[in-house]
Structure 1
Amino acid sequence: MNAQNSINENQHLNAKQQSIVSIATQTAVGDLEHLKIQLHKGLDVGLTINEIKEVLVQMYAYCGFPRSLNGINTFMNVLEERKGKGITDLEGKDASHFTDAVNKYETGKQTLHKLTGVEEKDPKTGANAFAPIIDIFLKEHLFADIFSRDVLTHQQRELATISVLAALEGVAPQLQFHLAVGLNIGLTESQLKQVFSITATHIGKQQAEIANNVLSKISDKKP
């Protein structure tokens, strides 16, 4: 494969990436009927059972336990339905054992550094200074416990996160942060616009337009 072909491919989400976006989007808004359709599609295009489980579990950090649990229960029903039809889906690898429990805060801090490309320096500012426990939860749980689970890559996790935030109302600041992270770890503007095209299909054009406007703000800041 030559360099030009590689560049062209990076302008589009592949079938598995599109499925991650659709699954995350439908889980975020609690549309279980359409989520069921997207779960079937995800398995059909080659996502493993454990990869989809991981997306659904991660959802609780961004849209809450109820939506995450509803998604997991829906997935259980999908798997039973497919099993009844004689379909055997690939289980896939499980997460490697996470051993750095003592230094989870530092692990999370290092992961966040990799994602953003920016080294965090003290003193804390903003919400992390006002409510220091949220900084601990973010570092130790989200960016250590969850992001250290290697069933999904960091890029896949950010793709799922961006999809959720694009689907939800009132979270533009968080979407802007994660769009910047996504671009930093290799997602392209064209791929992100494709995410929002999927948002428009599943959620509506107005929500997709909001997400595209947030992306434009980031693009305008580039040198």
Structure 2
Amino acid sequence: MRRIACRQAVVFALLIGSAGTIHAQENTMRENPIFGQIFPQGEKLPEEFSAYFIGQAYRAPLVRDEALNCPVSNVTFSPGCRNNWHSHTGGQLLLVTAGRGYYQERGEPARLLLPGDVVEIAPDVEHWHGAAPDSWFAHLAVETNPQTNKNRWLEPVDDAQYAAATAGTEEFRSRMSRTALRNFDALLPACKSELEQSDPELAEIVGNFAFDEVLRYGELDERTRRMTLLASAIALQAEGVYRSLLDAALDGGVTPVEVKEILYQAVPYVGLARTFDFIGIANDVLRRRGVTLPLEGQSTVSPDDRFEKGLAVQRSIFGERIDRMHEEAPENQVHIQRYLSADCFGDYYTRGGLDVKTRELLTFSMLVSLGGCESQVKGHIQGNANVGNGKATLLAVVTQLLPYIGYPRTLNAIACLNEVIPE
């Protein structure tokens, strides 16, 4: 997963570097709205290049300053379009930005390409690349060693060769529902790319179950579902999954403040040591998106009133039970009850950015994902019910977490749910 994340970072660095060119070519994008993507689609290939393509392709030069000596173009392929076998005397880099495509070197199996993938093509290696049969595809083509780099065009990739090269992956994809394909691509593109190439049968099983069948259960709104998945990934210590889910969450309307508050909410439940690396991941992703850090502060308490305000929040969630916990605590454990009121609830639950109802749902998601916290899970099931997250909502959350946390933790959570809120 770290390898994929590094690839995505390379792509994004180039995207940021070309931002000025993107704005300069907005008219081109508007004139060619065929395939939505971050870069302009450009014009149809001129005849000198289109003669070496089967199907329709488009090109948009992105780097205009010849003094930089780094030609970069966005190349877009319509479904089924591919170029001839060819080689470059100076090599080439392909940075995949949109859609689904393939790359194949002579004598090697074809490689499925998805956004975030990087293809390093050595000088004089014969190869071809293009779109999948049923998908548009776009990549940045970076000319390496441009002073001496020349193309050597060879024979076309005929229909039989193309069908054979794409058959394995396309066959299993045909057994995945369109909903599964769309959601898998949106939520975990890096994992999907890896599984499609190494374990296509597992990709099919996971895709249809986790990204179609499970998503049909319950009535969680999309933003809430994505926030609970982020909270779960932190508790599971799933860094690669968290990174992909975070990009999807931000694209789906979760705000940077909400992203940060999910992390802050994780500190008292998952622990600082387990949350720290995820704070770093979130910072990287937010900075890549142009977000200035630190964000505006959300704290609403002071050292003088954090205990009282935290205790008030506890009482609003759990009722008189909190007073009994303070009264009945052994003398040598009173400090823990004060920590819970002042720190866990005073420092975190009183913060802005997320309301108490959402924080309780996130806490439930994290405790269920941690496992071995059934006593706390039961307490927060009651707390959720008290603030308006009923059994149907909690069951919907557990169901959405199932593919990520597995059946044992899911069944333990449901047992707690049925004990606290019987059918």
| Aligned mates of 1:90, 1:205 — CA distance in 2 | 40
Q: Of the two structures, which has the highest relative contact order with CA contacts closer than 8 Å and spacing of 6 or more? A: 1
| Aligned mates of 1:90, 1:42 — CA distance in 2 | 18
Residue 222 of structure 2 corresponds to residue 15 of structure 1: yes
Residue 353 of structure 2 corresponds to residue 146 of structure 1: no
CA contact (8 A) 2:357 2:388 kept: yes
Q: Partner residue of 1:74?
A: 281
TM-score (norm 1): 0.83
Q: Partner residue of 2:328?
A: 125
Q: Partner residue of 1:51?
A: 258
Q: Which amino acid aligns with 1:219?
A: I
User: CA RMSD of the aligned region, Å?
Assistant: 2.3
Q: Partner residue of 1:29?
A: 236
Q: Partner residue of 2:337?
A: 135
Alpha-carbon shift at residue 40 of structure 1 (Å): 1.0
Aligned ranges 1:54-65 → 2 under 5 Å: 54-65=261-272
CA contact (8 A) 1:176 1:214 kept: yes
Alpha-carbon shift at residue 97 of structure 1 (Å): 5.1
Q: Which amino acid aligns with 2:219?
A: H
CA contact (8 A) 1:199 1:207 kept: no
Q: Which amino acid aligns with 2:327?
A: K
Alpha-carbon shift at residue 82 of structure 1 (Å): 3.8
Q: Which amino acid aligns with 1:140?
A: A
Specify whether residues 133 and 29 from structure 1 end up closer, same or farther in structure 2 by C-alpha distance, changes over 3 A only: same
Q: Which amino acid aligns with 2:258?
A: E
Q: Partner residue of 1:41?
A: 248
Alpha-carbon shift at residue 17 of structure 1 (Å): 0.8
Q: Which has the higher helix share?
A: 1
Instruction: Pick the aligned partner of 2:377 from 163, 169, 175.
Output: 175
Q: Which amino acid aligns with 2:221?
A: N
CA contact (8 A) 2:299 2:352 kept: no
Q: Which amino acid aligns with 1:111?
A: V
Unpaired runs of at least 5, structure 2 = 1-217
CA contact (8 A) 1:165 1:175 kept: yes
Instruction: Pick the aligned partner of 1:108 from 302, 310, 314.
Output: 310
CA contact (8 A) 2:310 2:341 kept: yes
Q: Which amino acid aligns with 1:57?
A: Y
Alpha-carbon shift at residue 12 of structure 1 (Å): 2.1
Which shows bigger deviation, 41-50 or 99-108? 99-108
| Aligned mates of 1:155, 1:95 — CA distance in 2 | 20
Alpha-carbon shift at residue 99 of structure 1 (Å): 4.6
Alpha-carbon shift at residue 169 of structure 1 (Å): 1.8
CA contact (8 A) 1:100 1:107 kept: no
Specify whether residues 163 and 144 from structure 1 end up closer, same or farther in structure 2 by C-alpha distance, changes over 3 A only: same
Number of matched residues?
A: 204
Q: Which has the higher strand share?
A: 2
CA contact (8 A) 1:16 1:42 kept: yes
Specify whether residues 90 and 12 from structure 1 end up closer, same or farther in structure 2 by C-alpha distance, changes over 3 A only: farther
| Secondary structure class of the residue paired with 2:421 | helix
| Aligned mates of 2:299, 2:289 — CA distance in 1 | 30
Specify whether residues 207 and 119 from structure 1 end up closer, same or farther in structure 2 by C-alpha distance, changes over 3 A only: closer
Structure with max Cα Rg = 2
Q: Partner residue of 2:417?
A: 215
CA contact (8 A) 2:301 2:346 kept: no
TM-score (norm 2): 0.45
Specify whether residues 150 and 213 from structure 1 end up closer, same or farther in structure 2 by C-alpha distance, changes over 3 A only: same
CA contact (8 A) 1:116 1:181 kept: yes
Unpaired runs of at least 5, structure 1 = 1-10, 84-88
Specify whether residues 90 and 175 from structure 1 end up closer, same or farther in structure 2 by C-alpha distance, changes over 3 A only: farther
